[in-house]
Amino acid sequence: MKATSYRFIEGPFLGDILDQPRALQATLDGFLGDSSLFDRIDKLRREPHARVVLTGMGSSLHALYPLELMLIAKGETVARVETSELIHSMPALLAGDTIIVAVSQSGQSAEIVRLLELNKKQAKVVGVTNTADSPLATESDLMILTHCGAEFSVSAKTYVGTLLALEVLGAAWCGEAAGALFDELQEAPALAASYLAQWREHVESLAARMEGISRLFIVGRGRSLATAGTGALITKESTRSPAEGMSSAAFRHGPMEMAGPETMVLVLEGEANLRSLNSKLVQDIHGIEGRAELVGPDSKIAALRIPDKLTRLLPIAEILPIQMMTLALAANSGFEAGRFLHATKITADE
């Protein structure tokens, strides 16, 4: 990649990406300083309820997938629903026997505000947000603040902060010990800092590999589906390039026909029990002369390689290479990554 291409990279979006280690530490410090948080979560989950509804828009909705898996494993009846669909097509879920977990970095998007108006204090609301004075924060029965700081456009540091917050919520809900949880989560800032220290090398490597690519798929299984969904979204937002996130299995059901020299498939290696399935997909795409790369510990490309044996921190580690990919794609296209032309940071219309 030509050195002049860096003028399309070194903007506010890159600043937010590089600020993620600090933001993750700030999120953790907020939780460590709140000694009653686990007790408040435990008290709420003990209240009689028939279901838990997880809701958000965009990356906020995708970030909820690992929590959905945790709560289902605990025996909860869970629905993960886009907030727009919840308020317009499923308002019956806004009932007294529902607990809502609503995620919004701004806490004031049109859909969240409308949700709070429609709910009228019927269902209990757990609000996860980055904005302390937002409607979501002030009107929730239990508020969880991420402390990530202001963000320019595309969700980067607020997304990883949200992932951490939802891990804390899930662990407390499932009765796990706070000490062991925070021992593991404390590794997040250093993990992000270590990877991002080589951001220039990562972007250069990926820019070269993405030459000639016009379509991108990001696929995975299990907790990695949060990364697949968010990764495709931020690619579209920050690079104006076509991208789609889906399960690795779903890719075989039709989209496999799109494999070829202009299509790149990033396959998230994922959790240990799912890796053989995901690695086999890469092999099969290569077998039909398509282009595919693993994102995980076994990747042959340093920019796509993340540490092994991650569980709670897996989605945080996985999104970092996708962020580098967005910078590379924007540089190849000749415009600044992450600067919106049509979208806004806070969506005011439903």
CATH code of the domain in which 209 resides: 3.40.50.10490
| Residue 34 sits in the same domain as residue 91 | yes
Backbone angles phi, psi at 95, to 5 degrees: -130, 165
Taking CA atoms, 48 is separated from 45, 52, 76, 267, in Å, by 8, 11, 12, 41
Long-range own/partner contacts, residues 129-136 (CB < 8 A, 24 or more apart)? 129/103, 129/104, 129/105, 130/105, 130/106, 130/158, 130/161, 130/162, 131/105, 131/106, 131/107, 134/104, 134/106, 134/107, 134/108, 135/107, 135/108, 136/102, 136/104, 136/107, 136/108, 136/112
Instruction: Print the domain residue range for 43.
Output: 17-187
pLDDT of residue 347: 65
Q: Is residue 243 part of a domain?
A: yes
| Residue 90 sits in the same domain as residue 181 | yes
Please give the model's pTM, rounded to 2 decimal places.
Answer: 0.95
| Residue 65 sits in the same domain as residue 109 | yes
pLDDT of residue 2: 46
| Residue 54 sits in the same domain as residue 148 | yes
Q: Which of 187, 208, 235 is the last residue of a domain?
A: 187
Q: How far apart are CA 163 and CA 321, in angstroms?
A: 16
Burial of 149 (0-12, 13-18, 19+ CB in 10 A): middle
| Residue 224 sits in the same domain as residue 259 | yes
| Residue 172 sits in the same domain as residue 246 | no
pLDDT of residue 3: 46
- 276 conformational bin, left if phi > 0, alpha if psi -120 to 50, beta if neither: alpha
Per-residue pLDDT of the chain (350 residues; tens, 9 = 90+): 444 355 667 788 999 999 999 999 999 999 999 999 999 999 999 999 999 999 999 999 999 999 999 999 999 999 999 999 999 999 999 999 999 999 999 999 999 999 999 999 899 999 999 999 999 999 999 999 999 999 998 999 999 999 999 999 999 999 999 999 999 999 999 999 999 999 999 999 999 999 999 999 999 999 999 999 999 999 999 988 899 999 999 999 999 999 999 999 999 999 999 999 999 999 999 999 999 999 999 999 999 999 999 999 999 999 999 999 999 998 888 877 767 666 665 666 77
- 212 conformational bin, left if phi > 0, alpha if psi -120 to 50, beta if neither: left
| Residue 135 sits in the same domain as residue 227 | no
| Residue 209 sits in the same domain as residue 247 | yes
Question: Cβ(192)–Cβ(320) under 8 Å?
Answer: yes
Q: Is residue 162 part of a domain?
A: yes
| Residue 151 sits in the same domain as residue 292 | no
| Residue 314 sits in the same domain as residue 241 | yes
Q: Is residue 39 part of a domain?
A: yes
Q: Is residue 2 part of a domain?
A: no
- E strand segments, the chain: 51-56, 78-82, 98-103, 124-129, 142-145, 215-220, 243-247, 263-268, 291-295
Q: Is residue 287 part of a domain?
A: yes
Element of type H or E holding 118 = helix 110-119
pLDDT of residue 341: 64
Q: Is residue 54 part of a domain?
A: yes
For residue 262, give both structure tokens.
Answer: 């202009």
| Residue 173 sits in the same domain as residue 33 | yes
Q: Is residue 51 part of a domain?
A: yes
pLDDT of residue 6: 59
Q: Which of 187, 218, 234 is the last residue of a domain?
A: 187
The tally of domains found in the chain comes to: 2
Instruction: List the one residue out of 85, 9, 74, 17 whose CA is nearest residue 41.
Output: 74
Q: Which of 187, 217, 251 is the last residue of a domain?
A: 187
Contacts of 315 (CB under 8 A, 6+ apart): 63, 66, 163, 223, 224, 226, 227
Q: How far apart are CA 180 and CA 120, in angstroms?
A: 37
| Residue 42 sits in the same domain as residue 174 | yes
For residue 153, give both structure tokens.
Answer: 């456009």
From edge to edge, which strands make up the β-sheet containing 51-56? 78-82, 51-56, 98-103, 124-129, 142-145
